[in-house]
Chains A and B, each alone.
Chain A
Amino acid sequence: MNDLATYNFAYLDEQTKRMIRRAILKAIAIPGYQVPFASREMPMPYGWGTGGVQVTASILGPNDVLKVIDQGADDTTNAVSIRAFFQKVANVAVTTKTKEATIIQTRHRIPEEPLRDGQTLVYQVPIPEPLRFLEPRETETRKMHALEEYGLMHVKLYEDIARNGHIATTYAYPVKVEGRYVMDPSPTPKFDNPKMHMSEALQLFGAGREKRIYAVPPHTEVVSLDFEDHPFEIQKFDKPCALCGAANVYLDEVVLDDKGGRMFVCSDTDHCEGRQAHGHAGPMLARPRHQCKEPAE
């Protein structure tokens, strides 16, 4: 028996969780609408996922299985720290397998494997306001959302085409949710935007510093904004993943040496490992180890 003070389950006190759950319920009721909430100080700096952590802490139950990814990977600092945090303060089961998880907290990616009914995806959001860099006043952007004045969003896309000949926004690509609110899908690559559309899983977005929560309930229409003559397109990759040979997935570029050597691998590490375990192999995995260090390019 130790008489040290202990944490409440999942770190936050029950009143705080109650407040956050109310915000989440409201967000689900109005898809894409940013609900203000009284964001708490968390034992990590802003920008490390304080919003996502608070949402996860509020919805987490003792029987949940938690997966945390950062840029698609389970083994990066941010993911490891947050996973360890919840192991410590909630003692929940954790996993790296998308299929087994009930709650997936993510930064910058949506898993490649389609999410199913009953799963919840929690996004860490740095700047929830899609209109922020076009209109600096919060009072004005709120009014624009209220009155559905979204012409300005297209001004941004227009500028893209005028400068680059195509829509050059590659991440945080604005979407319209259920035909009403324009929403920032957090800095996920636009490659992931189609996965949000009619997803079976519940998607929750938490912005800790900006004190906003928003949501996309299951089976909700999520449409990426575009022009009639410049339709929305996702990124395409020339080669499949170098390790598992998967095509039509989002790839990370990994620089191998200072002689121009590089490889493209799945950003979703669980997806990549799963495929390798099933016997799929990319061009670089098949090679003996000594050749991997000096790939011919």
Chain B
Amino acid sequence: MSAVPLLKVKDVSKFYGSRIGCRSVSFVLYPGEVLAVVGESGSGKTTLLSCLSTRLMPSSGIIEYHMRDGQYRDLAHMGEAERRFLMRTDWGFVHQNPADGLRMTVSAGANVGERLMAVGDRHYGNIRASASDWLRRVEIGEDRIDDQPRTFSGGMRQRLQIARNLVTSPRLVFMDEPTGGLDVSVQARLLDLVRGLVHDLGLAAVIVTHDLAVARLLSHRMMVMKDGTVIEQGLTDRVLDDPREPYTQLLVSSILQV
């Protein structure tokens, strides 16, 4: 791991009127590191993720990103054009519901190729070659390249969404409940796939989940949120095996052991 953080988050708060979305969240994320944000529904996980990925403007606080040119840039002071460019090249965003992140009425190949075309690739043959390469990497048969995602199963859609995000080799991927709504065996395969990709590509990721098993399998570090604030953070194994806060203890002990 490089010594320079990819993302520096300082005292980020988001208020919806008088209600708290998230309050005074600070952390740093290094390249290749996977951070899980866990907590119950309404604890501010998704608000935090939206602030980080510039989908929401934080009410206060600073989020700085280490650009490819070596400079740190404050996301709030970036122009919209630059921010959107960043989002479709250097970043990825995997939605809980694949329909939000995919174009359901165009073929799988075009879904994967869209980002390439957006950054100026104008060679059909090359675009198609990288699309089929990425479909293979996320274990979707290459004969499905011309099928629309609405003919895909939930797990395939989610894998397609991941391929679509990774095709421009981003350095940072945000995931919002990537395994939500999938059955356990499909979840396991997806987690395996994501773990492999994150490892092979050296991706940094922020994964929001309420599923502690996902956090355990994928993440190096985790943050536990409650009522908009981070109540505990540390190495994943430490937090899950030796939770300090009463709430974390409750959370860990409420997992059903089969």
Give A residues with C-beta under 8 Å from B: 134, 143, 147, 149, 151-152, 154-156, 158-159, 161-163, 226-230
Contact among B118, B124, B146 with A151 in the assembled complex (CB-CB below 8 Å): B118
Q: Is B106 an interface residue (CB 8 A)?
A: yes
A166 CB to closest chain B CB (Å) equals 10
Residues of B with C-beta under 8 A to A143: 80
Cβ < 8 Å to A, chain B residues 99-137 = 103, 106-107, 109-110, 113-115, 117-119, 122-125, 127-128
Contact present for A163 and B146 (CB under 8 Å): yes
Residues of A with C-beta under 8 A to B127: 158
Contact present for A159 and B106 (CB under 8 Å): yes
Q: Is B238 an interface residue (CB 8 A)?
A: no
B18 CB to closest chain A CB (Å) equals 28
Q: Is B189 an interface residue (CB 8 A)?
A: no
- State the CA gap A161–B125 with chains docked (Å): 10
Contact present for A161 and B124 (CB under 8 Å): yes
Contact present for A158 and B109 (CB under 8 Å): yes
Chain B interface size, under 10 / 10 to 19 / 20 to 34 / 35 or more: 20 to 34
Contact present for B110 and A229 (CB under 8 Å): no
Residues of A with C-beta under 8 A to B113: 155, 158
Contact present for A147 and B110 (CB under 8 Å): no
B80 CB to closest chain A CB (Å) equals 7
Residue among A149, A158, A226, A229 with max Cβ neighbours from chain B (10 Å): A158
- State the CA gap A147–B81 with chains docked (Å): 6
Contact present for A149 and B118 (CB under 8 Å): yes
Residues of B with C-beta under 8 A to A154: 117, 122
B41 CB to closest chain A CB (Å) equals 28
Contact present for B123 and A229 (CB under 8 Å): yes
Contact present for B125 and A229 (CB under 8 Å): yes
Contact present for B107 and A162 (CB under 8 Å): yes
A189 CB to closest chain B CB (Å) equals 23
- State the CA gap A227–B146 with chains docked (Å): 18
Contacts A155-B106, A226-B122 known; 14 new A-B pairs at CB < 8 A:
A143-B80, A151-B115, A151-B117, A151-B119, A152-B117, A155-B113, A156-B106, A158-B127, A162-B109, A227-B123, A228-B124, A229-B123, A229-B125, A230-B124
- State the CA gap A33–B142 with chains docked (Å): 40
Residues of B with C-beta under 8 A to A227: 122-124
A151 CB to closest chain B CB (Å) equals 3
Contact present for B146 and A162 (CB under 8 Å): yes
- State the CA gap A151–B146 with chains docked (Å): 19
